[in-house]
Chains A and B, each alone.
Chain A
Amino acid sequence: MKTFATLITALDSSNKTTLKKEAIIQFLTHATEKDKLWFLALMTGKRPKRSIATKDLKIWVLEITGIPDWLLVESYAAVGDLAETLALLLPPPLEKSDKNLSDWMEDISILQHASIEEKKSFVLSSWNALNTMERFIFNKLLGGNFRIGISSKGLVNTLAQHFGIDADIIVHSIMGEWNPYEFEFEKLIKGEYSDTYLSKPYPFCLAYPIEKELEQLGLVQEWQIEYKWDGIRGQFIKREGEIFIWSRGEEIISSQFPEITAALAQWKENMVLDGEILAYKNGRILNFTELQKRINRKVISKSLQTEIPVQVYLYDILELEREDLRPLPLQQRRHILAQLIKHNNQPTLQLSPLISPTNWTELRGIQATAREINSEGIMLKKKDSIYDVGRKKGNWWKWKVNPMTLDAVLIYAQKGSGRRSAHYTDYTFAIKDGDDLVTIAKAYSGLTDKEIIEVSRFVRQNSLEKFGPVRTVRPVLVFEIAFEGIGYSKRHKSGVALRFPRILRWRKDKTVTDIDTLDNIKKLIQ
């Protein structure tokens, strides 16, 4: 575990990408073949099924340490990570272990079929042979998420640089089913076990936020104008009959959208398309929050597919029958795309509708009401533009609707997790309902570290409870909350819920008498 613990310590303690990369390369140089594979597996979300319940781990720690349950809860609130809390609570180890990562992973894999007594005895003897950091890693390995210090994308980029391989190839090579027992590390990431050409995506062409007056863009007729949709931007690849859906985050997400994969399979051509995955029901595009329910699910059940159906609004075509269409003018690409969509006739794959205002003033009116159809603004693309690489200024612009805002008062605060565990960073806000305060939103982000420290101090000095993670605070601090939408909801006391609430700024100039009222807020609901 030493080599792996060194790596994790390095990844965990630095936020400098270069140092993280150095640490990974160090690890790859020193680790055994199997350890490298396990590392890759763990960091990219492939791990054995959880074999020990968190509840049992907690019980065993309480038994060993003799501390009361509430004290463990308090400790957890201060640490913000259960695996770490347990590691810190345990007494110092009496023994040592030189098992490496793959030995541990094999031991843990076997546990699935073990009795609870066997599990307990394994865990207790392991704890007794590991130092705090190793214990923390061990507890993480036993269960939950193993995401420490580096994203799977960051790891892929490091490997790409170190081995001189395209990042796309690595992503493709390590997706799908493989296990550390049958593969060789370098062969795996170099794609020797798979045909990587087929999945290779193009870099997305991205738009800049519009920064000039519309009139400066020239004639409105020179622009292809569409709504900006709030879904998952994707690249849809079909080559030699194989289908890959890539997200903007450069992850392959085909398995999360079986109905889209099925529709693509029905198309006669091989091609690469650019579009947006949207939740779509009864002729209406749904909130992104609906779509979110389908993200990061391992299995997409039939009922989920019925509950939250998806559809793709296709924007562009980049390749047809292996021919790169990106140098063609947008107008021409759009024409080709429209024809393909028409004759393949798959309802799941639609052409992104165009907006054709006669002048810029008319477009301003359309932009202002975009929210009514759950669009987040307007896209402007020059009709003669090529499909560029990355974010280039001039040809593509995005023009987002302004967020809605309200003033609310802080009433509950909770400590954050991870690096924010020492501070109160998770807030619940209220607005006025007559003489009462009713909760309207929770928000986690939007403040600077300095402001968080200031709010945390206020919370400590003005809270009613002494125990547990949540503090009720005197309603004094007023914040401006921005949000993208509002609807009725049973989840909040106020009966309304905000979409994407976040703290826009701390209104030190305002007091609780200045905050918004529920009656006023309800008027915003469409």
Chain B
Amino acid sequence: MIQFTSKGIYCIPGNFYLDPWQPVDLAIITHGHADHAHLGMKNYLCHHSTVGILQRRIGRDIQVQGVAYNDPIHINGVKVSLHPAGHIIGSAQVRIEYKGKVLVFTGDYKLQDDGLSIPFEPIQCHELITESTFGLPIYRWDPITTQNDRLKNWILSNQSNKKTSVLIGYSLGKSQRILNAVADMGTVYVHESIAKLNEVYTNEGIKLPSYQVIDLKMDTKHLERQIVLLPPALLDTRLIQKIPSLAYAICSGWMQIRGARRWRSADAGFPISDHADWDGLLQAVRESNAEKVYVTHGQTAVFAKYLNEIGIQAEEVKTDFGNEEDIQTVFTETQP
């Protein structure tokens, strides 16, 4: 039913691709991050909430069809439906069914409920294609309330030390989570690239706390001692240095490890992730009841080996996904 090709994951009977990285006729897109939603597809199909993101990021004139969760459509005799993945707004697992056989492609996902995206929904299937970004047992996330408390305590101590709290996370998904978590600590200033994506959330009827938009090229004096949200692309630029009394924290699952925190020499690092942790990955695999698991981006070799050892048939698959949370991309290169 499925073939892993150099263009992407291909559904043979359906004649469509899942998150392809090279131009194809029909692409089903799991979510709006750049490593899953590439430009150049003749037709896009994704969740309703992802439509606006694709239009913003790829182009207004793309051919894109939005569908709801749990609302099957048929493509060349293959039954296709999207199901919540809990990763970011509009993120979806793709379920495909053909001649009684069911396959699920998770895209990126997390099991924790971040309060903004619709929580992950386990789906039974014969074959599962799962990500493995944090597929090592050292990655175990704290409950979201604990994560948020840490953030707030850090901001509190900055406030008493007369420092400006700058929080760095992806503009799509992470930033909105952070905004939601820290809004009651004071006025939150967000970078314009984040503000644009905030609109996507509000357009979809998701209420976000109020915020101010900033342009770092303009005067930044008024940011002193406030809370500022920036995307990772601004790290290592001169612009960030314009912020007075700066203390900055990186919010990313990679920050679980001291080495990663120290490499970036940020003032703080918070392991807040939109990906499943080790336990989450295992739980998702178990709950799918899949007979066969394909492991894409991340700790593919390690996670596949472990699954085989615990009696779940698994193999790794090479894809182009994963640059999104790839540590060197996150922290050193410009985000598309």
Q: Which residues of A contact B (CB under 8 A)?
A: 12-15, 19, 65, 67-68, 70-71, 74-75, 78-81, 84-85, 88-89, 92, 136, 416-423, 449-450, 453, 456-457, 466-467
CB of B327 within 8 Å of the partner chain: yes
- Pick the residue among B137, B254, B262 that contacts A75 (CB under 8 A): B137
- Pick the residue among A12, A19, A68, A74 that contacts B136 (CB under 8 A): A74
Q: What would be 23 A-B contacts, judged by CB atoms less than 8 Å apart? A: A12-B262, A14-B265, A15-B262, A65-B137, A71-B136, A71-B137, A74-B299, A78-B138, A79-B258, A79-B259, A80-B257, A84-B257, A84-B258, A85-B138, A88-B139, A418-B262, A419-B265, A422-B254, A422-B263, A450-B332, A457-B328, A467-B301, A467-B302
What's the least CB distance linking A500 to chain B, in Å? 25
- Please give, as numbers and ranges, the residues of chain A lying within 8 Å of B327 by CB-CB distance: 422
A67 vs B139: C-alpha distance when bound (angstroms): 14
A92 vs B257: C-alpha distance when bound (angstroms): 16
If A422-B254, A467-B301 touch, does A71 touch B306 (CB 8 Å cutoff)? yes
A39 vs B139: C-alpha distance when bound (angstroms): 30
A19 vs B257: C-alpha distance when bound (angstroms): 21
Interface pair A422/B137, CB less than 8 Å apart: no
- Please give, as numbers and ranges, the residues of chain A lying within 8 Å of B269 by CB-CB distance: 13
Q: Which residue of A lies closest to B309 (CB)?
A: A68
Interface pair A419/B259, CB less than 8 Å apart: yes
A450 vs B331: C-alpha distance when bound (angstroms): 11
Interface pair B262/A453, CB less than 8 Å apart: no
If A71-B306, A88-B138 touch, does A420 touch B267 (CB 8 Å cutoff)? no
Q: Assuming A65-B137, A80-B257, A88-B256, what are 10 further A-B pairs, CB within 8 angstroms?
A: A13-B261, A13-B262, A85-B138, A88-B138, A419-B258, A419-B262, A422-B259, A449-B263, A453-B328, A453-B332
- Please give, as numbers and ranges, the residues of chain B lying within 8 Å of A14 by CB-CB distance: 265, 267
Interface pair B262/A78, CB less than 8 Å apart: no
In the A-B complex, the 5 residue pairs with the smallest Cβ-Cβ separation, listed nearest first, are: A421-B259, A419-B262, A466-B301, A88-B138, A453-B328
What's the least CB distance linking B313 to chain A, in Å? 17
If A13-B267, A453-B328, A467-B301 touch, does A79 touch B309 (CB 8 Å cutoff)? no
Of residues 215 through 269 on chain B, the ones whose CB sits less than 8 Å from some CB of chain A are 254, 256-263, 265-269
CB of B48 within 8 Å of the partner chain: no
A89 vs B140: C-alpha distance when bound (angstroms): 8
Interface pair A423/B263, CB less than 8 Å apart: yes
A81 vs B139: C-alpha distance when bound (angstroms): 15
Interface pair A74/B259, CB less than 8 Å apart: no
Q: Which residue of A lies closest to B300 (CB)?
A: A466
Interface pair A75/B328, CB less than 8 Å apart: no
A14 vs B262: C-alpha distance when bound (angstroms): 8
- Please give, as numbers and ranges, the residues of chain A lying within 8 Å of B306 by CB-CB distance: 68, 71
Interface pair A78/B257, CB less than 8 Å apart: yes
- Please give, as numbers and ranges, the residues of chain A lying within 8 Å of B137 by CB-CB distance: 65, 67, 71, 75, 88-89
- Please give, as numbers and ranges, the residues of chain A lying within 8 Å of B268 by CB-CB distance: 13
What's the least CB distance linking B231 to chain A, in Å? 19
What's the least CB distance linking B138 to chain A, in Å? 4
Interface pair B136/A78, CB less than 8 Å apart: yes
A420 vs B299: C-alpha distance when bound (angstroms): 19
B269, B301, B302, B309 interface centre (most CB from chain A within 10 Å): B302
- Please give, as numbers and ranges, the residues of chain B lying within 8 Å of A419 by CB-CB distance: 258-259, 262-263, 265
If A68-B309, A466-B301 touch, does A75 touch B259 (CB 8 Å cutoff)? no
- Pick the residue among A13, A74, A453 that contacts B302 (CB under 8 A): A74
If A13-B269, A74-B136, A75-B136 touch, does A420 touch B328 (CB 8 Å cutoff)? no
Interface pair B259/A418, CB less than 8 Å apart: yes
Interface pair B260/A421, CB less than 8 Å apart: yes
- Please give, as numbers and ranges, the residues of chain B lying within 8 Å of A68 by CB-CB distance: 306, 309
A453 vs B257: C-alpha distance when bound (angstroms): 17
- Please give, as numbers and ranges, the residues of chain B lying within 8 Å of A71 by CB-CB distance: 136-137, 302, 306
A467 vs B256: C-alpha distance when bound (angstroms): 21
- Please give, as numbers and ranges, the residues of chain B lying within 8 Å of A420 by CB-CB distance: 259, 263
What's the least CB distance linking B248 to chain A, in Å? 11
A68 vs B307: C-alpha distance when bound (angstroms): 12
What's the least CB distance linking B312 to chain A, in Å? 14
B254, B262, B301, B305 interface centre (most CB from chain A within 10 Å): B262
Q: Which residue of B lies closest to A89 (CB)?
A: B137
- Please give, as numbers and ranges, the residues of chain B lying within 8 Å of A417 by CB-CB distance: 259
What's the least CB distance linking A382 to chain B, in Å? 42
A79 vs B254: C-alpha distance when bound (angstroms): 10
What's the least CB distance linking A7 to chain B, in Å? 14
- Please give, as numbers and ranges, the residues of chain A lying within 8 Å of B258 by CB-CB distance: 12, 79, 81, 84, 136, 418-419
- Please give, as numbers and ranges, the residues of chain A lying within 8 Å of B332 by CB-CB distance: 450, 453
- Please give, as numbers and ranges, the residues of chain B lying within 8 Å of A74 by CB-CB distance: 136, 299, 302
Interface string of B284-320 (1 = CB under 8 A from A): 0000000000000001011001100100000000000
Interface string of B265-277 (1 = CB under 8 A from A): 1111100000000
Q: Which residue of A lies closest to B265 (CB)?
A: A15
- Please give, as numbers and ranges, the residues of chain A lying within 8 Å of B140 by CB-CB distance: 88, 92
- Please give, as numbers and ranges, the residues of chain B lying within 8 Å of A92 by CB-CB distance: 140
- Please give, as numbers and ranges, the residues of chain B lying within 8 Å of A423 by CB-CB distance: 263, 328
Q: Which residue of B lies closest to A453 (CB)?
A: B328
If A89-B137, A457-B328 touch, does A81 touch B259 (CB 8 Å cutoff)? yes
- Please give, as numbers and ranges, the residues of chain A lying within 8 Å of B256 by CB-CB distance: 88
What's the least CB distance linking A41 to chain B, in Å? 23
- Please give, as numbers and ranges, the residues of chain B lying within 8 Å of A136 by CB-CB distance: 258
What's the least CB distance linking B28 to chain A, in Å? 27
What's the least CB distance linking B273 to chain A, in Å? 14
Q: Which residue of B lies closest to A76 (CB)?
A: B138
Interface pair A421/B257, CB less than 8 Å apart: yes
A423 vs B326: C-alpha distance when bound (angstroms): 12
What's the least CB distance linking A58 to chain B, in Å? 14
Interface pair A456/B261, CB less than 8 Å apart: no
